[in-house]
Amino acid sequence: MRSTRRFRWAAIPAAAALAFVLAGCTQAQLNGYLPGHIEGAPPATNQTDRITGLWVTSWTVLLVVGLVAWGLTIWVMVVYRRRKGQTGLPVQLRYNMPIEIFYTVIPLILVIGFFSFSARDSYEIETRFDNPDVTIHLLAKQWAWDFNYVNEDVYSPGIQAQPIDTGPQGSIDEALLPTLYLPVNKSVEIILDSRDVVHSFWVPDFLYKKDVLPGKTNYMSIIPEREGTFMGKCAELCGEYHSLMLFDVKVVSQAEYDAHIASLRAAGYVGQLGVEFDRNTNLPGVTAPDASEK
C-alpha cells in the first residue's frame, strides 16, 4: 500500500516530462528562440549553427535537470508530509553514501560537459583564417564605426545614427548608417580597434559579439553565408550617444561587393583611416604621449 502510493506521486513529474516531450517542438524552440534563423535559407554565418547547437543542447539538458530536481522536491514534500496525529521529528537520515555520490558525480559530469563543449566551440569560433579572402580593419569610436577595406585600400567613414522627426519616436535615417559590405561565402577577418573607449561589435543575427578595446586588437573570423542586410549595434555602454552607435552589415554577391568598392573609390575614399584619428593618445606603454607626433 505504502509503496504503490509513493509510485503514484512519482508518476506526476514523469508524466509532466513525457507530456512536454510529446508536445513536440516548434522551429523557434528547436532554434532556442535565437534571432537570425530563416527556415529554408542558409545560416547567417558559418558559425551560427554551431552556436545554436551549443545553446539549445545546454538549455535542454538544464531543463531536464530542472524537471528531475523539481519533481523530486515536490515528491519529497508530498510523500513525507506530516500526517494527522504525527508528533515529534521524523526519522533523521544522514551519511547516505549512494545519494552523496549521486549529487557529487552528476553535477561534476554536467560541469565538465558544459565546459568541454563550450571550450571546443569557442576554439573553433576564435580560430583565425590563414588567408582570409577579405580583411576589414574596423575602428570603433564614440559613436560610430570606420570601416577600412584593407585588400582594396578604400575606406568608409561612419557617423552616428541620425534621428529623424518623421516616423515613430526613435526613428533614425537608415541611409546614413555606417554600412559594412561583405561578399557572401567568402572568409572574412575583421580586425577590431578602438579609437577611444571600450565598444562592442555586435550583429545579433550572427549570434556573436566582440569587444573593441583601446590598446588591444581583437579579431573576428566569419564566413557570411546568407545575403541580406543585418542590423548591428554597439553592445558596450560607451557614453552619451551609445544608443546611436548603430550600423548595418550588407552581405552581398561578389559583383555587388565590387561595385560598392568601386563607388567608394569613385567618391575619393582611397587609402585607410588609421590611428591618426584616435582620440586616445595615452595607450598602455612606457612612453608619455608626444604632442609633436600628432
User: Which residues bind to Cu ion, rule: CB under 5 A?
Assistant: 199, 234, 238, 245
Which residue number, 56 or 191, has a Cβ lying nearer to Cu ion?
191
Helix-strand-coil percent breakdown of the chain, rounded to 5? 40, 20, 40
Instruction: Say if CB 141 and CB 279 are below 8 A apart.
Output: yes
Which residue number, 163 or 271, has a Cβ lying nearer to Cu ion?
163
Q: How far is the CB of 246 from Cu ion (least distance, A)?
A: 10
Instruction: Say if CB 182 and CB 230 are below 8 A apart.
Output: no
Q: How far is the CB of 142 from Cu ion (least distance, A)?
A: 7
State the cell numbers at 5: 502510493
- In the block, which residue shows the cell 557570411? 224
Q: How far is the CB of 140 from Cu ion (least distance, A)?
A: 6
CB under 8 Å, gap of 24 or more: what pairs does 261-269 form?
261/149, 261/152, 261/154, 261/181, 264/149, 264/154, 264/155, 264/156, 265/152, 265/154, 269/154, 269/155, 269/156, 269/157
Which residue number, 238 or 261, has a Cβ lying nearer to Cu ion?
238
Amino acid in the structure at residue 51: I
Which residue number, 177 or 223, has a Cβ lying nearer to Cu ion?
177
Partners of 248 in the beta sheet?
A: 179, 231
Distance separating alpha carbons of residues 129 and 76, to the nearest angstrom = 54
Q: Please report which residue ranges of the chain form alpha helices under DSSP H.
A: 2-22, 27-30, 48-79, 97-126, 254-266
Angle, CA 65 vertex, CA 61 and CA 66 arms, to 5°: 115
Which residue number, 139 or 234, has a Cβ lying nearer to Cu ion?
234
Which residue number, 37 or 199, has a Cβ lying nearer to Cu ion?
199
Distance separating alpha carbons of residues 175 and 220, to the nearest angstrom = 26
Q: How far is the CB of 139 from Cu ion (least distance, A)?
A: 12
Instruction: Please give the order of strands across the beta sheet that includes 134-141.
Output: 154-156, 144-149, 134-141, 188-194, 218-222
Which residue number, 132 or 232, has a Cβ lying nearer to Cu ion?
232
Q: How far is the CB of 238 from Cu ion (least distance, A)?
A: 3
Q: How far is the CB of 144 from Cu ion (least distance, A)?
A: 9
Q: How far is the CB of 236 from Cu ion (least distance, A)?
A: 6
